[in-house]
Homo-oligomer: A and B are copies of this chain.
């Protein structure tokens, strides 16, 4: 697969409709796997890392996956790596290495296999909206096929063995990216985060930068992958998220009852700024588009649609902007590029 084919447009999985996509942006599942007979990545020399890649790609080819969709870190410059990160195809941890790492891209970017990240294989899938089962079915199917051709490290007692004990057992992490503006505005979010923690879920602000939550986005994921069957892990996450969705809906009803003018003002002036600004930082864009999402959810507006907002969330990121303009650019210039792109996308949106 040519790199250019990947970045011509936003990942199809994100720009499509999904269940509850007024609140849940996306669902992700990933499996951690290691190849039997090799040490974990952090204890392995370059030669053996290279052998792991060969083993995985050979197995993938025999399992029916096209090794032409494999991208080697050696062939990616910083900009390309960042584009892959912004599209969630790889992690910053994988990108930080210059050799013997890479990613096999599958299903038109919906799935990918990171090779030699923390584990030998990290199999992941993303789905639009609230669809952790879809994401799980993707990675489960890939795991089944690869398991036929690649000997995975497995213990009858512990399950799949992983570099970090938190992933041992199923190797499964399921997470969803959720937009909770009403719970933030009503200050109930801390209570929700606390309660989720008590039932074994981790809630993190988007980008994982502690308290610096951008755009009212939160990632909710299971903390333990051991001692529960995969479907139980997923079902527990689903029922907790369904409750949180209910809380968010109730909080938004409260807001509309008690502060309707203020909320409408927040939504519409955000659109006004997005239509007119000549410079926009990533954070400001995320915060303004959070208000637009809220406006959607409250049926105050129907344009731009959610898929278009999801698309902009990727296309306005630094590496994508630079790729679009075909050149590297400093932060100030990127802010003008971002504002220009957003103005184009909002041109038909009435205030």
Which of A's residues lie within 8 Å of B, judged by CB? Answer: 261-262, 264-265, 268-269, 271-279, 332, 335-336, 339, 343, 351
Tell whether, in the assembled complex, residue B351 and residue A261 are in contact, meaning their CB atoms are under 8 Å apart: no
Tell whether, in the assembled complex, residue B277 and residue A272 are in contact, meaning their CB atoms are under 8 Å apart: yes
A–B pairs, 28, beta carbons within 8 Å: A261-B278, A261-B279, A261-B332, A261-B335, A261-B336, A264-B278, A265-B277, A265-B278, A265-B279, A268-B276, A268-B277, A268-B278, A269-B272, A269-B273, A269-B276, A269-B277, A271-B276, A272-B272, A272-B273, A272-B274, A272-B276, A272-B277, A272-B351, A273-B276, A275-B275, A275-B351, A276-B351, A343-B351
Q: Which residues of B contact A273 (CB under 8 A)?
A: 269, 272-273, 276
A54 to B303, CA, bound (A): 65
Known: A261-B279, A269-B276. 11 other contacts (CB 8 A): A261-B332, A261-B335, A261-B336, A262-B279, A265-B277, A268-B276, A269-B278, A272-B273, A272-B274, A272-B276, A275-B276
Q: Which residues of B contact A335 (CB under 8 A)?
A: 261
Top 8 A-B pairs ranked by shortest CB distance? A272-B276, A272-B272, A276-B351, A265-B278, A265-B279, A269-B277, A268-B276, A264-B278
A265 to B332, CA, bound (A): 12
- Min CB–CB distance A334 → chain B (angstroms): 11
Which residue of B is nearest A339, CB measured?
Answer: B265
Q: Which residues of B contact A271 (CB under 8 A)?
A: 276
Query: Most chain-B CB neighbours within 10 Å: which of A264, A273, A332, A343?
Result: A273
Q: Which residues of B contact A277 (CB under 8 A)?
A: 265, 268-269, 272
